[in-house]
Amino acid sequence: MRGNPEVVDYLNMLIGGELAARDQYLIHSRMYEDWGLTKIFERIDHEMQEEAAHADSIIRRVLFLEGTPNMNRDDIETGEDVVSCLKADLKLEYHVRDKLAQGVKLCEEKGDYITRDMLRQQMSDTEEDHTYWLEKQIRLIELIGLQNYIQSQM
């Protein structure tokens, strides 16, 4: 089924963001694992897998719409410690959320309601799961202190 070229182009741009999120979560999860922070490693590894699934869904949709997926990922920001990793991931999630919202709007304008619904679901995951969890971790560090937070993640 031939899709709207603007929607396909936008989906290709979104693939880059999802791949970047996947790769950023991958490096951060492995850093946490190396530091012995098994709880946060497990959570961020799970987030990495979800981002890969988001990218997969968008790639499949581009193919369905008779487009060619663009596999070039956006740049990533690798943190150097727990706080900078969490903040970099949160910054990325805010960026992805904004792009997904714009994609929902574009799909609505172009009458592609299936793609719109797919992006809305991904936006829900981004807001209600990924972003919320990251915001909560940063708040916990502010409330209980970095050392107590790190100890709770071992």
CATH code where residue 38 lies:
1.20.1260.10
The count of other CB atoms within 10 Å of the CB of residue 2 is: 8
Q: Which domain holds residue 69?
A: 5-152
> Is 18 annotated among the ligand-binding residues?
yes
Rounded Cα distance between 14 and 70, Å, is: 9
Tell me the mean pLDDT in the region 137-154: 98
> Is 28 annotated among the ligand-binding residues?
no
> Is 108 annotated among the ligand-binding residues?
no
> Is 109 annotated among the ligand-binding residues?
no
> Is 33 annotated among the ligand-binding residues?
no
Q: pTM score, two decimals?
A: 0.94
> Is 127 annotated among the ligand-binding residues?
yes
Question: What CA–CA distances, in Å, run from 81 to 20, 63, 72, 88?
Answer: 19, 39, 27, 11
How confident is residue 1, by pLDDT bands cut at 50, 70 and 90? Answer: confident
Domain tally, the chain: 1
pLDDT for 11 beyond 90: yes
